[in-house]
Amino acid sequence: MDQKLQILLDTVKKLIRRGAFPNLSKVVDKTHPADIAHLFRYLDLKDQRILFNLIEDIETAAYVLSEIDHSAGAQLLEQIEKERITEVLQEMPYDDAVDIIRNMPEELAEAILNSMQDEYSDEIEQLLAYDEDTAGGIMATEIFSLSEGLTVGQAIESLQQATDVEMVFYLYVTDDHGHLVGVLSLRQLLTVLPNTQLKEIMIRDVISVRTDMDQEEVAQLVAKYNILAIPVVDDGNKLMGIITVDDVIDVMRQEATEDIYKMAGASEEELLYGNKSFKIARLRLPWLITNLFGGVMTGYLMWQFRATLEQIIALISFIPVITGMGGNVGGQSATIVVRGFATGRFDSSTMRQVFFKEVRVGMIMGAVCGLTVGLVAYGWHHNPYLGLVVGLAMVTAMTVAASMGVLAPTFFKRFGVDPAIASSPFVQTANDITGILIYFGTATMFLSYLR
């Protein structure tokens, strides 16, 4: 947080603590809505409610609410009077209002929809029919389109009269039945003769997405073609809405956050629990219990090789090295692949190439690390065969871990599961188990030389 916002936050907290609400109201009136929204991250629910209730202008309140995390926004609105909730939601873009309503308790959401004006509730219920992670779930339906039969002069006149619609530098052109047939820019519209028909100058090859396309794929398309917005159509190519680049940025941030949490075995839901330790622990425990059983399995495998350990006790020295390096290499490969899927750089057609590349990288790193740890083992225990065993096990374990780092997220991706899970702690435990098997298997093969 920069110094300006820190001073603002300290001022707001001080005024709330003192109950100086008239002064706080003046501060709110002079502050940009985006800055007000930023403050909500650092306030508890009680202070959020006080601050939000002091925003008298409904349009400003709607702006602030749209900038807050949707789950936190829904939680905040539960503390507000229903009449004010309805007023604020009706002032918001439909797609933002839908995101808030999705996170509300079902009874409250239904009550709010019933209290809304028909035109708002109908639009919102239409958007609620789409899955929240699809193009239909994040699109804005307040769009501006032009009929292909209009002239440029008529189009400009229509454009001047358009209000309260989601519009960027692209103008979408439809036929008489509302089907998307073309697109043109504002620059095109202003640089041709007024009597020119739109169908003569529009670009017919329009980049669009279906309502059921996953939001992550939508974000990849926008990034690939460097466009400011993308139209959403139904199965019959009828124009249903538009997704603008600010929505795409939110999607990218959301997807990246989800991946990071999954890779750490945590959940974004924790943010809603504040300092409620037991609820947060309950969210994290399933991952840790999985790791716990993985650790027990590793211990069980070591017990199965107890005869080897009893004869060559020096093998204990390098167990942490083998398992640790395998886990690190597997995590690196999995992270590269997960990121590749997220950005659209990797797909099923490139995974064979990626697999063999990561295997080669694993072998090279394994050879370097294996040679190093082998020399350490020889110098430490004065046994050349122990150095050979540790070195070979290191090369094999790191190569196998690199291949698993590619195969695990690819497997999950193919079966419709978020590949980020492949970088989570419980999958890395699999590398520990594999490393133990490789290490003690190699040691058992060379047992007669190690004695």
Average pLDDT over residues 210-223: 90
Q: CA of 188: how far to CAs of 152, 156, 179, 198, 200, in Å? A: 9, 11, 21, 10, 11
- Residue matched to tokens 């009874």: 107
* Tens digit of each residue's pLDDT (9 = 90 or more) over 86-128: 888 888 888 888 888 888 888 888 888 888 877 788 888 888 8
Q: What is the pLDDT of residues 355-383, one digit of tens each?
A: 999 999 999 999 999 999 999 988 888 88
Q: Average pLDDT over the chain, rounded to whole?
A: 84
Question: Do the strands 229-233 and 239-244 form a parallel or antiparallel pair, or are they unpaired?
Answer: antiparallel
State the DSSP string of 99-132.
Answer: HHHHTS-HHHHHHHHHHS-HHHHHHHHHHHTS-T
pLDDT score for 210: 95
Q: How is residue 57 annotated by DSSP?
A: -
Q: Contact 136/209 with Cβ under 8 angstroms?
A: no
Question: How much is the pLDDT for 75?
Answer: 87
Coil, helix or strand at residue 182: strand
Question: What's the mean pLDDT in 419-445?
Answer: 78
Report how far residue 217's alpha carbon sits from residue 131's, in angstroms, rounded to the nearest whole number: 14
Task: For 38-91, write each residue's pLDDT tens digit.
Answer: 888 888 888 889 999 888 889 899 999 988 888 888 888 888 888 888 888 888
Residue 212 has which token pair? 């059921």
Percent of the chain surpassing pLDDT 90: 20
Q: Give 262: exposed, middle or buried? Use CB within 10 Å, 0-12, 13-18, 19+.
A: buried
Q: Would you put residue 206 in left (φ > 0), alpha (ψ -120 to 50) or beta? A: beta
Tell me: pLDDT of 271 over 60.
no
Mean pLDDT of 192-204: 91
208 pLDDT higher than 90: yes
Chain segment 279-328, per-residue pLDDT in tens = 667 766 777 777 778 778 888 888 888 888 777 888 888 888 888 888 88
Give the pLDDT confidence score for residue 118 in this predicted structure.
Answer: 77
CB atoms within 10 A of CB 227: 17
Tokens of 274: 């504040």
Provide the percentage of residues in the chain whose pLDDT is more than 70.
92
Tell me the residue ranges of DSSP E strands in 167-304.
170-174, 180-185, 209-210, 229-233, 239-244
Report field, pTM of the whole predicted structure over 0.85: no
Please give the Cα distance from 367 to 377 (Å, whole number): 15
What's the pLDDT score for residue 203?
Answer: 92
Which of helix, strand or coil describes residue 192? coil
Q: What pLDDT is attached to residue 154?
A: 92
Question: What pLDDT does residue 173 have?
Answer: 94
Name which of 24-28, 87-91, 185-189, 270-274 the model is least confident about: 270-274
- 427-436 per-position pLDDT tens digit: 677 888 888 8
